[in-house]
């Protein structure tokens, strides 16, 4: 049975929405963009949403809007997609890594607190795999040190903590809409914030630096072409109409995986959500216990792939990437929890329409591949 790692959930209403737009008169900066931004702001429960061409661009714009630049430090996690750290380099600031909590895989607030220096300007935390970071603890740290808190919720649309949706913590946050996310716009991202000044800057800088009310070809700042097109926005509007259905489906799939994997010796399913938490699952990542090695994990991945089952290691520690070793002088042993987790992760097939029999097939395959290691 061939089972892909990820698959976008595109239905008839999504296709119809895109077709209406692509055959219309406005393909950029039109009503679908406005509608998508309005839907996103309303869903998250914040005042402003600025849709752009990627979550990476959204983070870049937030950092620029805050005036973070050369000589500044931003505390962040080495266990994430690389864009969350690359964006810090984009503005010529320096990422300062701290290790993660071994259960949640999110940044460890206690280590954040001791990493603050006079050069620290912001904390950029990540809702890893859709699980909310400890935002209340991070908010207290940011307030105590006078820092800006930035929320990378690229993977967490629909996640909640203490009755608040991810994207509503900190000064500003972002979501991403790559095809493996909860909803997709093909490529795309969004800035979410209650700060009108941040929203104005991001909207301007994403549109070549054009200001609100500026005349044609008049630009008030250095900007970029980070715009989201109307077709992508139309897809986003249609997808948002069933976002809760999607989140619920992914929760059911995650629960079936956890129930089946829990009895397999050597496999650690993701930590269960806290009572005050809703996890909107982005991917399903289990891992091998610490008595297994990276070579063991890689053998399991090869075995699953040979069976036609999509799988990946997820994530590779950022501080061990060649560029980061060169720029920051980081290496093995710097962040031991991140390294131990990163060496043992297994991302299994996960998407909205994954069937129960396909999940059972994956679980049985994992069981058999783990048996080969014993």
The DSSP code sequence of 40-96 is HHHHHT-SEEEEES-HHHHHHHHHHHTT--TT-EEEE-SSS-THHHHHHHHTT-EEE
Neighbouring-strand partners of residue 273: none
Are 361 and 370 in contact by the 8 Å Cβ rule? The answer is: no
- DSSP class of residue 241 equals T
Are 235 and 256 in a shared domain?
no
Are both 229 and 258 inside the same structural domain? Answer: no
Quick check: is 57 in a domain?
Answer: yes
pLDDT for 236-260, tens place per residue?
999 999 999 999 999 999 999 999 9
Which of 62, 101, 64, 59 has the alpha carbon at shortest distance from 81?
59
- 111 domain residue, yes or no: yes
CA torsion angle for 194, 187, 106, 245 (degrees, to 10)? 80
| 7 inside domain | no
Residue 168, pLDDT score: 97
Reported as a single tens digit per residue, the pLDDT across 359-374 is: 999 999 999 999 999 7
- Tell me the average pLDDT of the chain: 97
Q: Answer yes or no: do 119 and 56 share one domain.
A: yes
Q: What's the DSSP call for residue 270?
A: P
- pLDDT for the residue numbered 234: 98
* pLDDT > 90? residue 217: no
Collapsed DSSP state (helix, strand, coil) of residue 219: coil
What is the Rg, in whole angstroms, of the alpha carbon atoms belonging to the chain?
21
Q: Report which of 274, 75, 311 is spatially closest to residue 160, judged by C-alpha positions.
A: 274
Instruction: Please tell me the predicted confidence (pLDDT) of residue 256.
Output: 98
What does the DSSP 8-state code read for residue 261? H
Rounded CA-CA distance 314/347 in Å is 6
Among the three residues 240, 268, 284, which one is the final residue of a domain in this structure? 240
**Total number of domains in the chain:** 2
Last residue of a domain, one of 219, 240, 261: 240
Say if residue 211's pLDDT is above 90.
Answer: no
Residue 105 lies in a domain: yes
Residue 4 lies in a domain: no
Q: What CATH code is carried by the domain that includes residue 173?
A: 3.40.640.10
Is residue 2 included in any domain, yes or no?
no
Give dist(CA 232, CA 253) in Å, integer. 27
166 contacts 153 by C-beta, under 8 angstroms? yes
Q: Based on the number of CB atoms within 10 Å of its own CB, is 316 exposed (0-12), middle (13-18) or buried (19 or more)? A: middle
Choose one of 210, 240, 270: the last residue of a domain.
Answer: 240
Read off the pLDDT band of 32 (50, 70, 90).
very high
CATH label of the domain that carries residue 305: 3.90.1150.10
Asked if the structure places residue 224 within a domain, the reply is yes
Q: Which two tokens stand for residue 155?
A: 């993977």
* Whether residue 258 sits in one domain with residue 201: no
Helix (H, G, I), strand (E, B) or coil at 125: strand
- Tokens in use for 272? 């269960």
273 and 153 inside one domain:
no
Give the separation between CA 4 and CA 7, rounded to whole angstroms.
7
- Give the residue-averaged pLDDT of 310-329: 97
Is the pLDDT reported for residue 214 higher than 80? Answer: no
Compute the average pLDDT of residues 273-279: 95
Q: Output the pLDDT for position 222.
A: 93
Task: Judge contact between 284 and 253, C-beta under 8 A.
Answer: yes
Name the percent of the chain lying above pLDDT 70: 100
- For residue 225, the enclosing domain spans 12-240
Q: How far apart are CA 204 and CA 199, in angstroms?
A: 9
Catalytic residues: 181
Same domain, 81 and 108: yes
Residue 261 sits in the same domain as residue 235: no
Strand spans (E) along the chain: 48-52, 73-76, 94-97, 120-126, 148-152, 160-161, 164-165, 172-176, 189-193, 267-268, 277-278, 284-288, 345-348
Domain identity same for 91 and 204: yes
**What are 60-97's pLDDT values in tens digits?**
999 999 999 999 999 999 999 999 999 999 999 999 99
Do the beta carbons of residue 283 and residue 314 sit within 8 Å? Answer: yes
296 - beta bridge partners?
none
Q: Residues 127, 201: one domain?
A: yes
Same domain, 68 and 172: yes
Taking residues 115-134, report their average pLDDT.
98
Both 99 and 217 in one domain: the answer is yes
Say what the pLDDT of residue 31 is.
95
Query: Does residue 331 fall inside a structural domain?
Result: yes
Same domain, 41 and 169: yes
Cβ atoms of 283 and 4 within 8 Å: the answer is no
């Amino acid at each position: 049975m061939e089972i892909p790692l990820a698959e976008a959930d595109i239905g008839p209403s999504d296709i119809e929405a895109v077709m209406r737009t692509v055959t219309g008169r406005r393909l950029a900066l039109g009503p679908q963009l406005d509608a998508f931004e309005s839907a996103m702001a309303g869903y998250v429960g914040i005042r402003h949403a600025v849709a752009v061409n990627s979550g990476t661009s959204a983070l870049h714009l937030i950092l620029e809007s805050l005036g973070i630049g050369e000589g500044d430090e931003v505390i962040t996690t080495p266990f994430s997609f690389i864009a969350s750290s690359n964006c810090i380099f984009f503005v010529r600031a320096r990422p300062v890594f701290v290790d993660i909590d071994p259960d949640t895989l999110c940044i460890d607030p206690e280590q954040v607190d001791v990493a603050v220096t006079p050069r620290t300007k912001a904390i950029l935390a990540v809702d890893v795999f859709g699980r909310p970071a400890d935002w209340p603890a991070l908010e207290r740290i940011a307030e105590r040190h006078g820092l800006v808190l930035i929320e990378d919720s690229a993977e967490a649309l629909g996640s909640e903590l203490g009755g608040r949706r991810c994207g509503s913590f900190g000064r500003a946050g972002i979501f991403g809409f790559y095809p493996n996310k909860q909803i997709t716009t093909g490529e795309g991202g969004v800035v979410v914030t209650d700060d009108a000044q941040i929203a104005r800057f991001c909207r301007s800088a994403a549109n070549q630096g054009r200001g609100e009310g500026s005349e044609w070809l008049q630009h008030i700042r250095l900007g970029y072409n980070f715009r989201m097109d109307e077709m992508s926005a139309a897809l986003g509007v249609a997808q948002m109409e069933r976002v809760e259905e999607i989140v619920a489906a992914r929760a059911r799939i995650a629960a079936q995986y956890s129930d089946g994997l829990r009895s397999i010796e050597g496999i650690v399913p993701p930590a269960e959500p806290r009572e005050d938490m809703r996890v909107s699952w982005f991917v399903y990542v289990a891992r091998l216990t610490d008595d297994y090695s990276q070579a063991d994990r890689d053998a399991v991945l090869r075995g699953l792939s040979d069976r036609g089952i999509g799988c990946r290691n997820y994530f590779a520690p950022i501080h061990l990437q060649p560029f980061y070793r060169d720029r920051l002088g980081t290496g093995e042993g710097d962040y031991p929890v991140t390294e131990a987790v990163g060496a043992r992760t297994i991302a299994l097939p996960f998407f909205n329409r994954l069937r129960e029999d396909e999940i059972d097939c994956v679980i049985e395959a994992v069981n058999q591949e783990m048996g080969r290691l014993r």
